[in-house]
Structure 1
Amino acid sequence: MAPLRIALYNGKGGCGKTTLAWNLAMGLARRAPTLLVDADPQGSLRDWAHWADSADHYAITLCDWAGLCEGGQPEHRYRVYDCPPRPDGDEIQGILRQADIVLLPALPSPLDLWASRRAAELVQDMQGGGSGVRGYFILNQVEANSALSRASQSAIAAMGLPVLPVAIYRRAIYRSAALEGLSVYHMGKRAQAACEEIERLIEEILK
């Protein structure tokens, strides 16, 4: 069976893409073997993994984009790609052409959503070219008890891609886990709400 390939992509930095990729991969790895591909030249995921005291925390395999292209990676049920924060380019298109699902993390503000327009257009172009890729916005770092403004909703509608009916909230536990080189799944009861929202995201993806 071919792996389900999920790319997290947005040409705008600061949208929490890498944190979401890491925790998403950890949640998927609870179900089946998962490969996490660090395609970002900044290497944030590699640094994150090296920050931990022990690799025993991980049920995932981590490689970079060059290593994946060279082959030799074992088969996995899921692949999660953390894409570079660039609006387009040959490498971006190469990654997205491999993907079954593209998630575009975006902060829930009109300015951040409008800055994601080029990324959304690239996914739509691929869909128009016959690609079977599914593209979705995922609202990330949402403030608790806040409602999307009318301007934000208009910005989302203008993008032309659906928004997943799951939001990832701004929680200190995501930062605490990162500082320890861990995921929210390793942070005990205090991370229950964060784990539940990652689980809801996975359920939407796997529908």
Structure 2
Amino acid sequence: MSVPIGLQYGKNPESILNQSQAKNSSGEIVGLQVQPGNTLALVGGDVRLDGARLRAAGGRVELGGLAELGIVGLFVDGNNLSLSYPASVHRADVLLSNGAQVDVSASGGGSIAVNSRKIDIVGGSGLLAGVREDRGAVDNTAGDVTLNATDAIALKLSSAIQNLVNNNTKGNSGNIKIAAQSLDISDRST
């Protein structure tokens, strides 16, 4: 058996809508979750998280899509997958709304990548990476949060992109990397 080299999409890739707010055994809302250190990827046409939670503690979350026929490259590194999008193919949009959260924070590691035409993070939604409270060590470093939009990125209505080392914690935060034609941060967003 060979490892696939990519994800192939037809003329009209279908949208993905995630509204998961599933709870774990402690009653904490985790939504759609993978085992710590693994990758959770939502890739299709437009990707919408409406009040949803995605959790990949110390792992990787990839969000993105194509708007037309094309192949998204797939790279495997242990338990983590990363994707590459063809420059010549139009990308679809990514929307996080109504308090949607993507959380990869842990004692270290944990990265988020969003690749699309437009990225809208609105309505108290957020991308969260970093070292969680009471965890970590001096030499632990969180992964990066990378947003790559061929058009615009909007962060509105008390939404956030964070890569933090929380209180009572040791370690280093990762970077927040943003590439877009325009960036709009407004309405108490950070």
Q: Same fold (TM over 0.5)?
A: no
Which protein, 1 or 2, shows the higher relative CO under an 8 Å CA cutoff with sep ≥ 6? 1
- Taking structure 2 as the reference length, the TM-score comes to 0.29
Which one has the bigger strand percentage?
2
Which one has the bigger helix percentage?
1
- Taking structure 1 as the reference length, the TM-score comes to 0.28
